């Protein structure tokens, strides 16, 4: 028998508040928000450079073997960086970070380690940071598609 449940519809003022007179139109609001994000671009790129250096350090210290503490720290580092590149409208780096997070999440739960798979992600990270603003879109898409295949292949074992 299921436990008893109380089902009700609470009053949510948010809808009334956002319909109050004044405010902004959608186009202006989106423009203003994008401009605000642009102001964070420099800081975001600096942080990504730091993340790349730290990731390289973790990779070196792993010495080609699974190390649970290192993999967890590596995963936390990459997880924390997802979202930063899009501040500078760089979706390609974000896609790479998500692929690397998928890979590291698989390794930390399976106890495996794929040195080459991690290395190809870090090389791509470096390449994308260096060529920021001057990339061939088709070439970049091909690289990212390749990375996703690497992550999925690792997860399939």
Partner 1 sequence: MGFSTDSRARFNLAQVSVLLLEETSLGMSILVQILNGFGARKIHRCDTVEKAEKVVQETDLDLLIIDAMGRSGAGYDFVRWLRRSGIRPNCYVPVILTAAHTPASAIARARDCGAHILMAKPLTPRAMLDRIVWVARAGRRFVECDSYAGPDRRFKVSDLPAGVAVGRRREDGVSVPG
Binding site for partner 1 (CB under 8 A): 2-15, 17-27, 29-37, 39-40, 43-44, 47, 72, 75-76, 78-87, 91, 94, 98, 101-102, 105
Instruction: Check if the beta carbon of residue 101 is closer than 8 Å to that of residue 129.
Output: no
Concatenating the DSSP letter of every residue in 39-108 gives: TTHHHHHHHHHHHHHHHHHHHHHHTTS--HHHHHHHHHHHHHHTTHHHHTT-HHHHHHHHHHHHHHHHHH
Q: Which is nearer to partner 1, 6 or 130 (CB)?
A: 6
Please state the closest distance from residue 44 (CB atom) to partner 1, in A. Answer: 7
By three-state DSSP, how is residue 154 classified? helix
Q: Which is nearer to partner 1, 103 or 120 (CB)?
A: 103
Residue the block writes with tokens 């088709």: 138
Q: Which is nearer to partner 1, 40 or 142 (CB)?
A: 40
Please state the closest distance from residue 77 (CB atom) to partner 1, in A. Answer: 10
Q: Which two tokens stand for residue 53?
A: 């250096």
Please state the closest distance from residue 141 (CB atom) to partner 1, in A. Answer: 17
Q: Which is nearer to partner 1, 91 or 116 (CB)?
A: 91
Q: How many Å from the N-terminal Cα to the C-terminal Cα in the chain?
A: 42
Please state the closest distance from residue 50 (CB atom) to partner 1, in A. Answer: 11
């Amino acid at each position: 028998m299921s436990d008893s449940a109380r089902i009700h519809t609470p009053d949510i003022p948010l809808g009334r508040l956002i319909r109050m007179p004044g405010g902004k139109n959608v186009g202006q609001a989106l423009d203003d928000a994008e401009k605000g994000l642009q102001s964070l671009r420099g800081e975001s790129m600096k942080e990504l450079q730091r993340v790349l250096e730290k990731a390289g350090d973790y990779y070196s210290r792993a010495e080609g073997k699974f190390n649970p503490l290192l993999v967890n720290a590596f995963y936390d580092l990459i997880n924390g960086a997802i979202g930063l590149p899009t501040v500078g409208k760089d979706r390609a780096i974000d896609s790479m970070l998500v692929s690397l997070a998928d890979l590291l999440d698989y390794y930390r739960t399976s106890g495996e380690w794929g040195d080459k798979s991690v290395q190809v992600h870090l090389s791509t990270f470096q390449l994308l940071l260096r060529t920021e603003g001057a990339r061939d879109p088709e070439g970049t898409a091909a690289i990212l598609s390749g990375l996703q295949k690497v992550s999925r292949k690792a997860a399939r074992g």
